[in-house]
Amino acid sequence: MSVISVKNLKKYYQVYQKEPGFWGSIQALFLRKYYNIKAVDGISFEIPEGELVGFIGPNGAGKTTTLKVLSGLLYPTSGEVRVLGLKPFERQKQFQANISLIMGQKNQLWWDLPAWDSFILNKEIYEIDEGIFKKNVAKLSEMLGVEDILKIPVRKLSLGQRMKCELIVALLHSPKVLFLDEPTIGLDVVAQKNMRDFIKEYNEEFRATVILTSHYMGDVKELCKRVIIINEGEILYDGSLVSIVNKFAPYKVIKVDFEKEVDVEKLKEFGEIEKYSGNFVEVRIKKGEVFATATKLLSEFDVVDLNIEDPAIEDIVRDIFNAAK
C-alpha cells in the first residue's frame, strides 16, 4: 500500500486583472476580468513507505502547491489525494500527528526565545509524552550537532543553526511523512551537506517517507534515487535519477585539453561547443558518433588529455525545462 497516493490532482486559482492607475482601480470596482491559473493540472503518482523522492521543477511549476495540498493546507480543485490512507484536507488528528511540512523560507521558532521554548510549545500541541519528548530532543540535537545552542535566543543563531532547530521542532512528534520544501535554501555548502546528511540519516533510521523539493541539484543527486519532474503543473518525468540520462540525453560530452590553442571554427565541425578557452573544449556528441569523433580529434590535433562523460544531471534537467516551454 502506498503511503502517498495522488490521482489526477488539479489545483486552479481564479485571479483578476486590473489596469494600472486610478481609473483602472475605478473600473475594477464595476467590471473585473477573471482568469484561471492552473497551478497543478492533473498529476498522478504513488510513493511507498520509506521512499525519498525528489520533486523538482522551475519556479511556478506547481511543486509547493502540491506539497500544500498533500499537507492539508490547500483544498484540491479536483482529483483524489491520500496520505497514510487519509484525506489531507480533512485534517484529522491522526493525519496531523504523522506528517510534517518544512519550508526553508518559513519559521516555526519564536524569534526572541530559545529554541527550547518552541520545543516545549510543540510538545504540548502534539501531546508528546515527557519521556519521548526528552528522548527525541536528545536524539535529534545529537544528530544535528546543536546540543549547546538550544538555550540561546533564536535571533542570535546563524542561519544554519536556525535551520537545524527548525528541523528538530518539526520532527519532535516523529512524523511518518515529511514534506521538505527547499530545506537547504540560503545555506552555505557546509551547512547544506550537514542538512543532507541529516535528512538521509533520518529517512533511513525512522523509515520516513519523504518528498523533497529543491533548486539545488546537489540535494537531489545525493538524497534521491527517484525524481518527479514537474513543469507548468504537469509531470514530465517520474522515474529513477540515473535513467534520466538514458531517456533525455541522446549525447555525451567530450572534454579535450590540447597542447596548444586551437581555432574554435575548426572544432565546430565535431559537434555542439559547450565550453571553449583556446586550448580546452567541451563538445556535445551524439552517442553513436562518440568513438569516431574521439578518434578524429586524436588524429588531427595534439591532445594532452581527452575524457568522454555523460552530461551533468543539472544540464539535462535544464534542457527538459527549456524543451517544455
Identify the band that residue 184 occupies on the pLDDT scale cut at 50, 70 and 90. confident
User: Does domain 4-9+42-242 match CATH 3.40.50.300?
Assistant: yes
CB atoms within 10 A of CB 276: 14
- 131 CB-near residues (< 8 Å, 6+ apart): none
Dig out the grid coordinates for 1 from the structure.
500500500
User: Does domain 250-309 match CATH 1.20.1510?
Assistant: no
Q: Which residues of 15-36 are buried (b: 16+ CB within 10 A; e: fewer)?
A: eeeeeeeeeeeeeeeeeeeeee
Per-residue pLDDT reduced to its tens digit, 232-287:
899 989 999 888 877 777 888 999 999 888 888 888 888 889 888 888 989 988 88
Residues shown for the chain: 325
CB 5 within 8 A of CB 82: yes
Distance CA(38)–CA(234), nearest Å, equals 10
Distance CA(90)–CA(64), nearest Å, equals 19
Sign, CA torsion 237/240/244/246: negative
Question: Alpha carbon of 7 to those of 43, 88, 214, 216: distances in Å?
Answer: 7, 14, 23, 28
Please compute the mean of the pLDDT values over residues 213-229 and round it to a whole number.
Answer: 87
Does 250-309 match 4-9+42-242 at the fold level?
Answer: no
Structure pTM? 0.80
Going from N- to C-terminal start, the domains of the chain cover: 4-9+42-242, 250-309
Dig out the grid coordinates for 9 from the structure.
490532482
Distance CA(40)–CA(13), nearest Å, equals 10
CB atoms within 10 A of CB 10: 16
CB atoms within 10 A of CB 137: 22
pLDDT value of residue 9: 96
Per-residue pLDDT reduced to its tens digit, 35-50:
788 899 999 999 999 9
Q: Is the pLDDT of residue 20 over 90?
A: no
Question: Alpha carbon of 252 to those of 287, 288, 316: distances in Å?
Answer: 6, 9, 11
